[in-house]
Amino acid sequence: MKTVEKLKKYLEEIKKNDQNGNKINAILELNPNINEEAKKIDEKIAKGNAGKLAGQIIVLKANINVEGMHISCGSKVLENYKAPYDATVVKKIKDEDGLILGLTNCDEFACGWSGETSAFGPTKNPVKIELVAGGSSSGSGAAVAANFCDMALGSDTGGSIRVPASHCGVVGVKPSYGFVSRYGLIDMCMSFDQIGPLTKNVQDAALLLSVIQGYDECDSISEKSKSINLKKVEEIPKKIIVGLLDFEISNKEIQKLINEKTKQFCKKYNWELKKISIPHLDLAIATYFPIVYTEFYSATRRLDGRRYGKKVEEACGPEVLRRILGGSEITKAEHQGRNYHLALQARELLKKEFENIFKEVDCIISPVVPRLPHKIGEKISSKEMFEYDALTSPMNIVGNCALSLPIGEINKIPVGMQIACDKFQDEKMLQIARSIEKLQIS
């Protein structure tokens, strides 16, 4: 199908299901030049000189700069901010003839779990409209699931790509720290954030990641890495040692589903299955938040109302304000950085424990979210909210790669399996996920 025809279908879908009546609310802004850009891409395809992403229609979380578009970060603070330049990932997508359809809704400044903290209203879950889509890249997950686009990009600080992917039943990849340039990402917490794909299948995720990955001198933490070989991703690896994470979660049905599926694919492929535990995994949340609060507080200091939009404290919502106040408290001189330094120590401990585990196994399997999505507006306790990140945030703390693969349903609600591999083993992770995905399809 021609790009222009596919685009027409997607735009109709968006008009019908995103912007009318009981809307999903995944898309915040559409690219005003989309029709001319689609035509140009079709001309290139016809001439045979189009790039790797030609024909792919892509949406981006509204915290990734696209020149001329409103990068609001789901916040009133930046609602009038127009990006003056393209983020590196955007440049790379355009260079390979990917078509940028628009920007997606998200939790305000990526602070959230469910997609409900956006100043532009919650994103609804296309699978079941009364449920949350999962956050913070809620609109990216929902847009892919609702068939508004081919692919999406999100950002993941502690689970924000994997959580919506799990709740909406799509694939979501958090690449290794340093694998994808964050130049042009309005960061939430710079020592955790990574940009990554949300897609309909693992093949698409591998394709998009292969385009956006790579060293970028504009991002100081960017690292040189081997490019993803898409043919290799299709091969079923022969010898894999799978580590099934031994971790208590409150929803036993999710735990059972993950355990059963893991046994099934290990048996089918003759992969070795080991039960593993990570001794200090339960410290993850207590490690994650002091670091997030400190770095987020520091990042928001530029939002003082003089250069970009409004003063953050005056225009933000309660979750963002909580983090700013929390960050300003724990960084006070009188505390001498105690909480922050304790968190950094715990981070080192977790890094060592993961290093040891990855000497024994090729991948770690667990649920993505230990619970099913709640109803929009339903009050859930802070403890339950924090539970969202229990299994995803460790991967950001340590910096390895992890993805969410749709693995089944409970009461017709999708459940994601987390597959995590060691740092810069992103290709192997995709290969394992693709092998499992093939079993689901056949």
Residues with catalytic roles = 61, 136, 160
Nearer to ligand GLN, 51 or 172 (CB): 172
Output 51 or 134, the one with its CB closest to ligand GLN: 134
Q: Given the rule CB under 6 A, which residues bind ligand GLN?
A: 110-113, 136, 156-160, 188, 292, 388-389
Minimum CB distance to ligand GLN smaller for 292 or for 361? 292
Instruction: Choose between 157 and 435: whose C-beta lies nearer to ligand GLN.
Output: 157
Q: How far is the CB of 61 from ligand GLN (least distance, A)?
A: 10
How far apart are the C-alpha atoms of 114 and 124, rounded to whole Å?
10
Tokens matching residue 196: 């990554």
**From the CB of 29, what's the least distance to ligand GLN, in Å?**
20
Task: Quote the least distance from Cβ 289 to ligand GLN, whole Å.
Answer: 7
Mapping DSSP onto H, E and C, the string for the chain reads: CCHHHHHHHHHHHHHHHCCCCCCCCCEEEECCCHHHHHHHHHHHHHHCCCCCCCCCEEEEECCECCCCCECCCCCCCCCCCECCCCCHHHHHHHHCCCEEEEEECCCHHHCCCCCCCCCCCCCEECCEEEEECCCCCHHHHHHHHCCCCCEEEEEECCCCCHHHHHHHCCEEEECCCCCECCCCECCCCCCCCEEEEEECCHHHHHHHHHHHECCCCCCCCCCCCCCCCHHHHHCCCCCCEEEEECCCCCCHHHHHHHHHHHHHHHHHHCCEEEEECCCCHHHHHHHHHHHHHHHHHHHHCCCECCCCCCEHHHHCCHHHHHHHHHHHHHCCHHHCCHHHHHHHHHHHHHHHHHHHHHHHCCEEEEECCCCCCCECCCCCCHHHHHHCCCCCHHHHHHCCEEEEEEEEEECCEEEEEEEEECCCCHHHHHHHHHHHHHHHHC
Residues 6+ apart with CB under 8 A from 283: 346, 349, 350
Query: Closest distance between ligand GLN and the C-beta of residue 109, in Å?
Result: 9
Instruction: Output the smallest distance, CB 199 to ligand GLN, in A.
Output: 18
Closest chain position to ligand GLN (CB): 160
Q: Which is nearer to ligand GLN, 17 or 138 (CB)?
A: 138
- Which residue from 392, 369, 127, 353 is spatially nearest to 258, judged by alpha carbons? 369
Q: Supply angle C-alpha 327, 338, 287, rounded to 5.
A: 65
| CB closer to ligand GLN, 157 vs 300 | 157
Residues 138, 115: contact at Cβ < 8 Å? Answer: yes
Of 144 and 292, CB closest to ligand GLN: 292
CA gyration radius for the chain? 20
What is the nearest approach in angstroms of ligand GLN to the Cβ of residue 291? Answer: 10
In the complex, minimum distance from the CB of residue 326 to ligand GLN, in angstroms, rounded to a whole number: 12
Given the complex with ligand GLN, which of 160 and 404 has the nearer CB atom? 160
Look up residue 260 and give its two tokens: 């059963």
In the complex, minimum distance from the CB of residue 117 to ligand GLN, in angstroms, rounded to a whole number: 9
